[in-house]
Structure 1
């Protein structure tokens, strides 16, 4: 049998059942204009047809039929169809009608012979009842599906605030079940002050017939924590347009707010890093001129008659300048503009090797404990900077009143979700985790929020720079890891440093710099937009026996090279950050036109992301012997130096925050 078309379905679908062919024909003729009519001559045939034909809305059945009576057929049909039923009979069989009403749930009863107008009216009413019932069932299913499927609390209340519908999420939030809360008032289930406010808000939404939208924090139950919620209350109008019920939708914004806070914090740290890098660059230029001038004065003073007071003053000035250089290195580490030497490292061994240094630095009052995990993975780290960062964190704990500091290590896997361990702003993968736990005074939430910012310190003026934690944070982030902080006032602080797991085993071999090789005198073109830095660099080179010529920018340098065809120059020394043409752009053009001319870049950034590995780099502020080593290597035929950042000065190690 062919399926009815969409148009025929809209007309309605009718099943007529009678064992007399003439009656079936008469019923088909009566309803064929308004319905898609299907006919069956027995109850068994009708049951089979109902299985094959979807969407039958009304069944008209005779009562007396051989094999299966009408009431028995309708009772069987009711097991799998919601079609409305109408019973026809030529006899006054009250028992059959009652049976059909009870078992077959007939909507109408008509005697034979029937009144065509009355029978049509009965059938049309039955169709309306069927379609209304299906629409109501669909709405109930949609509502039930919405309530059951939504992970967010949903509820419907009457005008008195009693629950008429709610889902499991809402019931859990109130500490009950759906069944136990139906008919209850939410205002009676929360603390009195909150209940009074809730009643007022709900009545206001109903009186105004307008939605009410609220966002704020609430207590998260017995745990004492808080959650951010957005609650939308929407009045539902009755047939007269008056609000009779209230729908409430609750959105948990706690995780969203946390993500927004982390984003704002990340943006702030990025802005601070950019600012810190710019400040450090400017200070490095100043310190290059200051340290260079002091070195030259010290050299001239040593060549003349001994003046102990003058030598002491020069020594003090040089130490202060080197301390300033150490501070700028910390700023560059925080801003990730400090070039690190990342190598596989045994963190357990590094912690043990620092035992004596920590004991001397922290004093007898502080007890150092270690809980080092066996089988620790190799970590990717700058070992010298790691040691400096660890010392600073321990000194912070001591200054916070700690009498015990515990150093621990472990292997950690950061998962996509909170399956094993989830750390904000850290890519999934394997990490080596160093923990520094102290029993000091701890931090308040306000202090924790600023702990990684450069120059932020709770210590007295002159007792700390506020760069210790920020340096460790920058070191970890630049290494591919991060730092987490947990602290409770009066209970101490736990700092955990995450360093990425190295794919290579660790190596204990140190990188030796060696002595500066001797070099023949050469002619050097010095390019720097800072007059003082350019002057010191030129003076250093002149005292080393080299002939120099200066240029204040890249364009002037290219002009000098073109005028001399570069044959008169043995080396180009250029600043990296210059307005207009940068040192990197100048180096690229020089390499293209004069590929044989050695090039040395000077920079206050040493940012590996913005320079080429093709050129050796000397980081500002530099000393004369560091410049001599680089220049000698570049002028040594056939042996250009590898890119080599200047080493940390001893004064930078162990500086307290």
Structure 2
């Protein structure tokens, strides 16, 4: 018996995978008289196997990237926190202030890199809000001209709707995706060319065909498509097969990190969308982002920004196993007037709460992932002991932090790492004030009955 697999290439490029199974038929004397076999087209099965391998490899890279970036964000929180304390508490000026400012800027750039890694792993806490896509593209136009150079023209074909074209996405991340795609297009048009930005609206039903360039079907619903097209060198099938793999790049001389499209893929999928690529060697590439269409936002009132960090006198328990992050958080909160307790483990925090007896703890500020007892488990325990205590979860990424049931609870607050003193102060005050407002409303409600 014989079994083997073959790969043949069509003249126009695609491959055909065949499985052969055969056996030799012999007569009574054992002489071979016939060869019987079959050929089966297993192209679809091979493609599914390749897709599964790529998915598993990207998942493994994502877990590694998420873990590294989570620890990295702890270091950045410490760097940002102490830099701000030096600048504001000690009123440092002159050359020394300039040096500290450069340290802070470097930490900010490192934070952006950590955000890219977390976005690729799909564990980045995106700050999603409703965005008008056409307006975002128009605002980007001038930046694109500077980025692309004089030998590349930009065209826009925007889908116009009465109330605009809206999606719910992190606008900063979407802007970064568009800029990354524009840079890739520029590099593919070394001798100049045309970059085309387009938006479209599509409705996907049960029987709607898969959009061109998509590796999987879109769930039914209304989508906004945002495409970036170039008429550059294009890509062959081998390059397209590795397109979303981290650290894969066709750029030479170390000019590309290989994280651009992998990061974009993670951000788009985390936002509930799909990233589809069409490309033909010598004819150019079109990358289309499909995001669920959102309803137009309700106009919000303008809030005047605060110049000083908000203060308070409430009691706060800080539970954080990373000593540097815990120390900077405690120092900042105490400088703002709060009475602060600190613990490195859940067991230590439990002893602190029990030792205080009936003394109230107004707020728990806790990391999510810690050895032995997680922040969520401690918060659940504390709820039974002190049900009025508000909770802020802090973490390097959101997906590990909040259980779906927790996300529906309006009492749950979240502060992503890295954070600076101002972000910490604002989130703490916001959480305490929301709780106080609810208690006042409840008190008014309980005391407003009608007399008989």
Over residues 439-492 of structure 1, what are the superposed CA-to-partner deviations in whole Å (9 max), with x where a residue is unaligned? 334445554444323444444667554432222111111122221233345443
User: How far did 1:567 drift?
Assistant: 1.4
Distance 1:255 1:416 in 2: 22
What displacement does 1:606 show?
Answer: 1.9
Which residue is 2:157 aligned to? 371
Report how far residue 546 of structure 1 moved: 1.9
1:350 and 2:136 equivalent?
yes
Q: 2:215 aligns with which of 424, 430, 444?
A: 424
CA distance in 2 between partners of 1:421 and 1:332 (Å): 28
Is 1:639 matched up with 2:431? no
Within 5 A, what are the aligned runs for 1:89-108? none
Q: Tell me, what secondary structure is at the counterpart of 1:354?
A: helix
CA distance, structure 1, for counterparts of residue 377 and residue 48 of structure 2: 40
1: CA distance, partners of 2:314 / 2:255: 48
Change in 2 beyond 3 A, CA 1:284/1:254: same
- Separation in 2 of the partners of 1:513 and 1:334? 34
Query: What does 1:600-615 align with in structure 2 at a 5 Å threshold?
Result: 600-607=392-399, 610-611=402-403, 612-613=406-407, 614=409, 615=412
Deviations 1:43-99 (A, max 9, x none): xxxxxxxxxxxxxxxxxxxxxxxxxxxxxxxxxxxxxxxxxxxxxxxxxxxxxxxxx
Relative to 1, partners in 2 of residues 1:224 and 1:360: Cα closer, same or farther, differing over 3 Å? closer
Change (3 A) 1:428 1:297: same
Residue in structure 2 matched with residue 321 of structure 1 by the alignment: 107
1:600-628 superposed Cα distances (whole Å, 9 cap, x missing partner): 11111122774422320111111111111
Aligned partner of 1:281 in structure 2 is: 70
1:394-473 residue pairs with structure 2 within 5 A?
394-400=182-188, 401=190, 403-412=193-202, 419=209, 421=211, 423-430=214-221, 431-459=223-251, 463-473=255-265
Aligned to 1:249: 38
Q: Distance in 2 between matches of 1:399 and 1:298?
A: 41
If the length of structure 1 is used for normalisation, what is the TM-score?
0.59
Does 2:420 align with 1:623?
A: yes
1:379 Cα deviation from its structure 2 partner = 3.6
Alpha-carbon RMSD across the aligned residues, in angstroms, is: 3.0
Cα distance, 1:592 vs structure 2? 2.1
Structure 2 CA distance, aligned partners of 1:218 and 1:460? Answer: 30
Name the structure 2 match of 1:333. 119
Match of 1:259 in 2: 48
Q: How many Å apart are 1:527 and its aligned residue? A: 1.0
CA shift, 1:574, in A, is: 0.9
2: CA distance, partners of 1:561 / 1:507:
43
- In the alignment, the residues of structure 2 paired with residue 550 and residue 280 of structure 1 have an alpha-carbon distance, to the nearest angstrom, of 25
Q: Structure 1: give runs of 5+ residues left out of the alignment.
A: 1-210, 641-657
- Cα distance in 1, alignment partners of residues 402 and 108 from structure 2: 26
**Contact 2:311–2:338 (CA<8 Å) still a contact in 1?**
no
What secondary structure sits across from 2:337 in the alignment?
A: coil
CA 560–246 in structure 1, closer or farther in 2 if over 3 Å, else same? same
**Corresponding residue number in structure 1 for 2:177:** 389
Cα distance between partner residues in 1 of 2:270 and 2:300: 21
Query: Larger relative CO (CA 8 A, sep 6+): 1 or 2?
Result: 2
Distance 2:41 2:101 in 1: 62
Of 318, 333, 353, 1:541 maps to 333
Cα distance in 2 for partners of 1:538, 1:398 equals 48
1:277 Cα deviation after fit: 0.9
Alignment partner, residue 320 of structure 2: 528
Change (3 A) 1:225 1:418: farther
Once the two structures are superposed, the pairs formed by residues 549-628 of structure 1 within 5 Å of their partners are 549-565=341-357, 567-607=359-399, 610-611=402-403, 612-613=406-407, 614=409, 615-628=412-425
Rounded Cα–Cα distance in structure 1 between residues aligned with 2:180 and 2:58: 20
d(CA) in 1 for partners of 2:44, 2:301: 46
Q: Show CA shifts across 1:8-38 (max 9, x none).
A: xxxxxxxxxxxxxxxxxxxxxxxxxxxxxxx
Q: Deviations over 1:175-223 (max 9, x none)?
A: xxxxxxxxxxxxxxxxxxxxxxxxxxxxxxxxxxxx3222111244x54
Q: Which runs of 5+ in 2 are unaligned?
A: 439-452
Task: Please name the residue that 1:359 is paired with.
Answer: 145
Compared CA separation, residues 535 and 343, structure 1 to 2 (3 A): closer
Q: What's the secondary structure of 1:578's corresponding residue?
A: coil
- Check whether the contact 2:18–2:42 (CA below 8 A) recurs between aligned residues: yes
Larger Rg, first or second structure (1 or 2): 1
Corresponding residue for 1:119?
Answer: none
Query: Shift in Å at residue 634 of structure 1?
Result: 2.7
Instruction: Report the Cα distance in structure 1 between the residues aligned to 2:291 and 2:249, rounded to whole angstroms.
Output: 25
1:608 and 1:509 mapped to 2: Cα distance?
Answer: 33
Distance of aligned partners of 1:318 and 1:433 in 2 relative to their CA distance in 1, 3 Å threshold: same
2:312 touches 2:336 (CA, 8 Å); kept in 1?
A: no
TM score, norm. by length of structure 2 = 0.84
